[in-house]
Amino acid sequence: MRTVNAIAAPSATEPLVRTTIDRRDLGPRDVLIEIRYAGICHSDIHTVRGEWGQVPYPLTVGHEIVGRVAEVGAEVDRFEVGARVGVGCMVNSCRKCGNCQAGQEQYCENGNIGTYASTDLDGTVTQGGYSTHIVVDQDFVLRVPESLPYEKVAPLLCAGITTYSPLAHWKAGPGKKVAVVGMGGLGHMAVKIAAAMGAEVTVLSQTLGKKDDGLRFGAEHYYATKDPATFEALKNTFDLIINTVSAPIDMAAYLRLLRLDGTLVSVGAPPEPLPVPVFALFGNRRSFAGSSIGGIAETQEMLDFCAERGISPEVELITADAVNEAYERVLSSDVRYRFVIDIDSLRS
């Protein structure tokens, strides 16, 4: 076991504090990663504040992890020391069920092992990326192309794949009208990726405050959802709506923006239920769906897609001591567009 520096939440109501956590000794198929950058996902905040249920405190969160391989176990054959690698929201799964066999480990029928707050195969509680090192089975480690800017790439490991996966599944592309609801961490990646896939992208944000950015990221249209005229103007318009909002939204109002056979996919995960009025589904034979991150192979495909297209997240780099303040800014939708912790600030 090795003891490494980290930041942890002591409880649902206290600020995160500096601490140390233990990482297991390397098993034969494990990779030790020296973490360089860790993104702050809104899921980290939902989790540490206990909004999604019971949490094993103290807990270190963080599932947008990028760094370099520092050591490898005896049987590791996919990575060499020095390789630039990433870890997203999962660190293991059963590998035997139908979904795992189909490369959809995120939907493991026995429950995937999350990067934090999950019980690992050895019975310990997993601890996330706001720390200097992590030990992960090589099958859940991603290769991060060197052409992607090191300090910006971490958010692809959650925000990138969580939006890429439904955009690919519901075939965003030329001739498709795609709306993105909420332009925060996930939302701004959805805009960039959907535009790169060739779709006609519309942003539905609370206000027009980030319009210039949205158009720069590749959107063609940008509307304020605080203005009721938006919902009148866009009735029956979209083939696909990706909802990234971290709070409940008025489902009927958004569903009515779908055209015939359109689908609204929620990736936003508010603690409260999202009531769906069936009559809003009947019109235009609409569908309401959810989507959770993406499989390991698909995550690699997304990283390679972003590298080829020169797509990277917009980030604000912070030190470990600024994490609590960053959380408050995320909660007030004041994020441009992902906070990334410079993990070097945790080393001393």
Binding mask 9-48 for Zn ion (x = CB under 5 A): --------------------------------x-x-----
Single out the residue of 292, 301, 307, 314 in contact with ligand NAP (rule: CB under 6 A): 292
Residue 49 · residue 15 · CB < 8 Å:
no
In the complex with Zn ion, the residue whose CB is nearer, 43 or 131, is 43
Partners of residue 179 on adjacent β-strands: 202, 241
Please tell me whether residue 93 binds Zn ion under the rule CB under 5 A: yes
∠ Cα 83 84 85 (to 5°): 105
Please tell me whether residue 296 binds ligand NAP under the rule CB under 6 A: no
For residue 288 the two structure tokens come to 């309401």
**Binding-site partner at residue 292 among Zn ion, ligand NAP, none, CB < 5 to 8 Å by type:** ligand NAP
Task: Go through 173-204 and write b for each residue having 16 or more CB atoms within 10 A of its CB, e for each that does not.
Answer: eeebbbbbbbbbbbbbbbbbbbbbbebbbbbb
CB atoms within 10 A of CB 3: 10
For residue 342 the two structure tokens come to 């410079």
Minimum distance from CB of 211 to ligand NAP (Å)?
10
**Binding-site partner at residue 269 among ligand NAP, Zn ion, none, CB < 5 to 8 Å by type:** ligand NAP
Single out the residue of 38, 201, 245, 306 in contact with ligand NAP (rule: CB under 6 A): 245
Sign of CA dihedral 198, 202, 206, 208: positive
**Binding-site partner at residue 136 among ligand NAP, Zn ion, none, CB < 5 to 8 Å by type:** none
**Binding-site partner at residue 93 among ligand NAP, Zn ion, none, CB < 5 to 8 Å by type:** Zn ion
H-helix or E-strand spanning residue 72: strand 65-72
SS3 label, residue 140: helix
Distance separating alpha carbons of residues 308 and 304, to the nearest angstrom: 6
Distance separating alpha carbons of residues 49 and 16, to the nearest angstrom: 11
Please tell me whether residue 108 binds Zn ion under the rule CB under 5 A: yes
Binding mask 38-57 for ligand NAP (x = CB under 6 A): ---xxx--x-----------
CB atoms within 10 A of CB 328: 10
In the complex with Zn ion, the residue whose CB is nearer, 97 or 215, is 97
Task: List C-alpha distances in Å: 248 to 196, 266, 299.
Answer: 28, 10, 27
Does residue 166 have a cis peptide bond before it, meaning omega lies within 30 degrees of 0? no
From the list 10-18, 79-87, 312-320, 327-335, the region that binds ligand NAP by CB under 6 A is 327-335
Please tell me whether residue 113 binds ligand NAP under the rule CB under 6 A: no
In the complex with Zn ion, the residue whose CB is nearer, 5 or 93, is 93
In the complex with Zn ion, the residue whose CB is nearer, 202 or 266, is 266
**Binding-site partner at residue 97 among Zn ion, ligand NAP, none, CB < 5 to 8 Å by type:** Zn ion
Sign of CA dihedral 38, 39, 43, 47: positive
Task: List binders of ligand NAP among 146-165 (CB under 6 A).
Answer: 158-159, 162
Single out the residue of 7, 100, 303, 323 in contact with Zn ion (rule: CB under 5 A): 100
Sequence-distant (6+) residues with CB within 8 A of 177 are 199, 200, 202, 237, 238, 239, 240, 259
**Binding-site partner at residue 184 among Zn ion, ligand NAP, none, CB < 5 to 8 Å by type:** ligand NAP
Please tell me whether residue 127 binds ligand NAP under the rule CB under 6 A: no
Please tell me whether residue 269 binds ligand NAP under the rule CB under 6 A: yes
Single out the residue of 158, 219, 258, 315 in contact with Zn ion (rule: CB under 5 A): 158
Binding site for ligand NAP (CB under 6 A): 41-43, 46, 158-159, 162, 182-187, 205-206, 244-247, 249, 267-270, 291-293, 330, 333, 335
